Chains A and B, each alone.
Chain A
Amino acid sequence: MFDRVIVANRGAVAARVLRALNAMRIHSIAVYSEADAGAPYLGLASETHAIGAAPPRESYLNQDTLLEIFRRSRADAMHPGYGFLSENAGFATRVESAGTRFIGPAPRWIETMGHKTRARALAHEHGLPVGSGSDILPADKDIVAAAARRIGFPVLVKPAAGGGGIGMLPAYDEGQLAEAVERARSMAERGFANAEVYLEKLLQRPRHIEFQVLGDRFGSVRHLFERDCSVQRRHQKVIEEAPAPLLERKLIEGLADSVAAILQKMGYDNIGTVEMLMGADGSFSFLEMNTRLQVEHGVTEEVTGVDLVQAQIRSAAGERLTAILPEYIELKGHAIQARVYAEDPKRFFPSPGNLKVYRSPVDPSVRIETGYAEGRNVTPHYDPLLAKVIVHAPTREAAIARLCDALEAFAIEGVKHNIPALLKILRSAPFREGQVHTDIVAEVMS
């Protein structure tokens, strides 16, 4: 096992990983930008290091500074969290070359899965269902239009190197296509330093269902069931749950088994999530694979009893899945997570500011993952996530009720927040009935 592990991230995920390291009695090392100096979770770390100014490029994305801190702190492994450098294959390679273990899959996986059209081709080659789409779009507008016509409108323009819903733009007809492609290219270039975009069929009211997997370095991969993350705004998840409602268990677990078997055949070797869309006709199609811990890992932990962060660290340290996971993983009850964002609850525009009041519910049955505390500033430099609120109950109905109670018990002043929107969605008839799909937020809020 590792002796000293550094967490190259901030906020709720840094807090979560530090907690896992402490539970494993590993010396934990945290880093922080100027904006995060004094953040409450830094108190969980055995040691902390300043890494630069608030803008991510000068701190959490600054590879040279981070590598120097890894060296100075004598870290033998690094946990990247999610976001920032967690899916940067070049960085993972540099970390490993410097003698620090990257807690994630081998860099080649990050590279392959990080490029969406390559990942789609690989998934298809290994027998996963893949929806219709294009290759990387060339500059020639006629070829782009022909590709869209072949797929059939509406289409979604997506950055090949993308993530987090950034730069994804729909085109409902040929008239909208050129501008959507141009804007997506610009956003992709800016967000991911790669202007490549491609087209996917835009499904109407699909469900987003994803499979949690864990692999080891000895050729084993297992799944830990699925999550439903259909409730999204701007292609970003806001409410996630496990198990997925209203699906036949035999069908979904059969699909989970085949996903794990395919990844095992491919040799996947750490934590990952295979995201799929389920069409109105019940068909599944591969969307992408995330080669890292997910924001919504907590709901899977609640229904399986497996600590995914500790499991991920143990796998990276060279333990076998047979030692890490119980022989039978049982699905118990229902878990739901709501993401509390600093944003206005109508248009979902970000709302940075000072948390003049920040009080979360004290109910021990409610799990709260946050990087904030009262008096802290929510800066415009980072993601607007304030807290993840996770509940676990014997039934979905009881989980919804508990989550609503928990969200109502929050007191937040100084920034706008989306709790009114979350409550409206959770209490809506379609959500309560399990009739979730990726347009539910727009439909419930209108």
Chain B
Amino acid sequence: MATVELKSEVTGAVWKIKMQAGDAVAEGDIVMIMESMKMEIPVIAEEDGTLKQLIVKEGEPVTEGQAVAILEI
């Protein structure tokens, strides 16, 4: 099974994680929501698959391009 990394598009912090490891994920699903400069920016699954691992926790700071979750496709 191939895996892909989901990356944060912004530098900020993890506001809310919407899914758990093991969840089935469809393309377009919001896996988690980042917060930066008063904005909420979702991290969206680009393919169908299973959420294998969450790399970050709620409240944790992230940088742009940082991997935040691993999806098994």
Contacts and interface: CB of A to CB of B under 8 A. Distances in A.
Interface of A: 164, 166, 187, 191, 234, 342-343, 349-353, 380-384
Given A342-B37, A381-B37, 14 more contacts: A164-B38, A187-B40, A350-B10, A350-B11, A350-B36, A350-B39, A352-B11, A352-B12, A352-B36, A380-B10, A380-B11, A380-B35, A383-B37, A383-B38
A349 B38 contact: no
B70 to A, nearest CB: 22
Interface in B39-61: 39-41, 61
A83 B66 CA distance: 30
B13 A380 contact: yes
Nearest to B35: A380
A122 to B, nearest CB: 28
B27 interface: no
A352 B12 CA distance: 8
Contacts of B38: 164, 166, 191, 382-383
Nearest to A341: B37
Nearest to B13: A380
A382 B38 CA distance: 7
B29 interface: no
Interface of B is mostly: strand
A187 B13 CA distance: 16
B13 A351 contact: no
7 nearest CB pairs, A to B: A350-B37, A380-B12, A380-B36, A384-B37, A350-B36, A352-B11, A349-B10
A353 B61 CA distance: 13
A382 B37 contact: yes
Interface string B9-44: 111110000000000000000000001111111000
B18 to A, nearest CB: 12
Contact of A349 (B9, B13, B61): B9
Given A352-B11, A353-B11, A380 B37 contact: yes
A350 B12 contact: yes
12 contacts: A166-B38, A191-B38, A234-B39, A342-B37, A350-B11, A350-B41, A353-B11, A380-B10, A380-B12, A380-B13, A382-B38, A384-B37
A349 B12 CA distance: 11
B37 to A, nearest CB: 4
Contacts of A351: 10-11, 64
A349 B40 contact: no
A67 B13 CA distance: 29
Contacts of A353: 11
A166 B11 CA distance: 19
B29 to A, nearest CB: 14
A351 B35 CA distance: 12
Contacts of B64: 351
A353 B65 CA distance: 13
Contacts of B61: 380
A191 B39 CA distance: 10
Of the listed residues B9, B13, B35, B36, the one surrounded by the most CB atoms of chain A closer than 10 A to its CB is B36
A441 to B, nearest CB: 16
Contacts of B37: 342-343, 350, 352, 380-384
Contacts of B41: 349-350
Which has the most chain A C-beta neighbours within 10 Å: B10, B12, B38, B61? Answer: B38
A178 to B, nearest CB: 17
